[in-house]
């Protein structure tokens, strides 16, 4: 457990600002606009509840507004890509990426 005396300048949970990192691995239902929107909205609802347990409403509202704004602009990707959404009070980013399917060991075991 961390001792507050060791880090006197560290903000407490009540003083810090919430940040959201949402990674959604590709699923077939993400190829349909309505299903993708429903999946993202459900995730946002869950995140909003979780943030409400740790942060004040005044601190969570800007982050949730940015998250919902990003969700409204996300559309299906043609290449079956996963989605990464990152939101803080200062920034908002959406990344589309193709994840690796399987890890393989290319080195012989000795």
Domain tally for the chain? 1
Residue 34 lies inside a defined structural domain of this protein: yes
Domain that holds residue 77: 20-97
- Predicted confidence at residue 110, as pLDDT, reads 58
pLDDT in tens, 82-102: 999 999 999 999 999 987 666
Residue 11 lies inside a defined structural domain of this protein: no
How far apart CA 87 and CA 95 sit, in angstroms, is 12
- Predicted confidence at residue 1, as pLDDT, reads 46
pTM of the model: 0.74
How far apart CA 96 and CA 72 sit, in angstroms, is 15
Mean pLDDT of all residues belonging to the chain: 85
DSSP code of residue 107 = S
Residue 2 lies inside a defined structural domain of this protein: no
Kindly tell me if the per-residue pLDDT of 21 is higher than 50.
yes
Residue 81 lies inside a defined structural domain of this protein: yes
Residue 42 lies inside a defined structural domain of this protein: yes
């Amino acid at each position: 457990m961390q001792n507050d005396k060791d880090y006197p300048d560290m903000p407490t949970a009540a003083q810090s600002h919430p940040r959201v990192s949402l990674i959604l691995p590709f699923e077939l239902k993400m190829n349909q606009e309505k299903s993708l929107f429903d999946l993202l909205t459900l995730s946002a609802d869950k995140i909003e509840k979780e943030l409400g347990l740790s942060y004040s409403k005044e601190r969570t509202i800007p982050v949730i507004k940015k998250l919902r704004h990003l969700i409204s602009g996300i559309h299906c990707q043609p290449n079956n890509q996963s989605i990464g959404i990152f939101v803080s009070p200062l920034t908002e980013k959406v990344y589309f990426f193709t994840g690796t399917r399987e890890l393989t060991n290319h080195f012989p075991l000795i």
